[in-house]
A = this chain, B = another copy of it.
Amino acid sequence: MKTNPGRFFEDYSVGQVIRHAVPRTLSGGERALYHALYPARGAVYSSDEFARVCGLPQSPLDDLIVFHTVFGKTVPDISLNAVANLGYAEGRFLAPVYPGDTLQSQSEVIGLKQNSNGKSGVVYVRTTGVNQRGEAVLEYVRWVMVRKRDMSAPAPETVLPDLAKVVAPADLVVPGGLTFDGYDFELAGEPYRLGDYAVGEVIEHVDGVTVEEAEHMLATRLWQNTAKVHFDATNRADGRRLIYGGHVISLARALSFNGLANAQMIVAINGGAHANPCFAGMTVRAWSEVLDKVETGVPGVGAIRLRLVATSGTGTALRDADGKYAPEVLLDLDYWALMPV
């Protein structure tokens, strides 16, 4: 059989390195589509002129374009037979990506644990996205639950990676040359700087977007993500297409402009959970909670740690009385973004 059946749990071993197909050159076309698919308005990612005032050679591609592109390549090798996408950790954006750059990605298996039912197991991978000069632009750890092909295959030795709960401020990479010295708050859309946010503050981002099938499929294909469940309505018993979790991340991040316009560039993803599935027809809203604020090594450039929650309901409920995610919560993401001090 020449088609790709995907890897099963027993096909992974700790230390294994997988180079993912297919390298991808990104252009202004991907940016235009990103901005048509999500209400993204961050000034650094919208304007060459604004980016230059911030010390960059031109406007980079949105941080999450890079994430989705690198992630998409891993799907045929990592998550084609995944039952669930369990979590993210230690995500760091290491260098901006510009139109014309070509990305490819590879993953190293860093942990394995068979489930007690013997039918599946958890695979931990550290994925790295690399540009055409061999420079790493993004790395992150993801773990997924993967089915076994052969239920009688022996369990591998359990290896659980030691993962940081939060990327340490000292490990955040500020893009070379970045400065907020000439930052124009009026053009950026809001007057608030790092000092205006308080830890514990909650921001409801007001706007909502009702999602269409065509939109999430355009987005998911653009990242060359091949998971059947996103495209094939005959794949689930209920005839619904599951929306790629990254689509919800991008929607929520874009909606968070309204209240966090100056949280310009994501530099780290500390963790994340796709709490409940998202389907077309839902109206997605978002709220954020300020978790931390720090200065970076670059004067004037601070970092704000945010919890970003996407919901198919209204309000800012996160968990039920018994501590489980409320049924309307779609995403709970923990990340660091750069902001003028």
Q: Are A3 and B37 closer than 8 Å at their CB atoms?
A: no
User: With A and B bound together, what is the CA distance between A54 and B223 in angstroms?
Assistant: 23
Report how far A258 CA is from B261 CA in the complex, Å.
Answer: 41
Query: A258–B41 Cα gap in the complex (Å)?
Result: 35
Q: B24 to A46, Cβ gap below 8 A?
A: yes
Interface size on A, residues (CB 8 A): 75
CB distance from A334 to the nearest CB of B (A): 20
With beta carbons under 8 angstroms apart, the residue of B23, B29, B41, B232 that contacts A32 is: B29
What residues of chain B lie closer than 8 Å to A190, measured between beta carbons? 2, 4, 21
Asked whether B187 lies within 8 Å of A21 as measured between CB atoms, the reply is yes
**Contact of A327 with B by CB under 8 A:** no
Question: Does A207 lie at the interface of the complex (its beta carbon under 8 Å from any beta carbon of B)?
Answer: yes
Q: Does A85 contact B (CB under 8 A)?
A: no
Nearest residue, chain B, Cβ from A216: B214
- A218: Cβ under 8 A from any B Cβ: yes
| CB-nearest residue of chain B to A228 | B207
A16 close to B (CB within 8 Å): no
A217 to B219, CA, bound (A): 14
Q: How far is the CA of A217 from the CA of B209 in the complex (A)?
A: 9
A231 contacts which chain B residues (CB < 8 A)?
39, 207-210
Interface residues of A in 12-39 (CB under 8 A from B): 19, 21-25, 27-33, 35-39
B234 contacts A208, C-beta separation under 8 Å? yes
Question: 1/0 per residue A215-241: CB within 8 Å of B?
Answer: 101110110101010011111000001
Q: Assess the A39–B226 pair: CB atoms within 8 A.
A: yes
A59 at the interface (CB under 8 A from B): yes
Interchain CB contact under 8 A, A39 and B208: no
| Residue pair A36, B232 in contact (C-beta under 8 Å) | no
| Bound CA span A76–B215, Å | 24
Chain A residues at the B interface, C-beta cutoff of 8 Å? 2-4, 19, 21-25, 27-33, 35-39, 41-43, 46-50, 58-59, 76, 99-100, 102, 104, 132, 186-190, 192, 196, 203-210, 212-215, 217-219, 221-222, 224, 226, 228, 231-235, 241, 258-261, 283
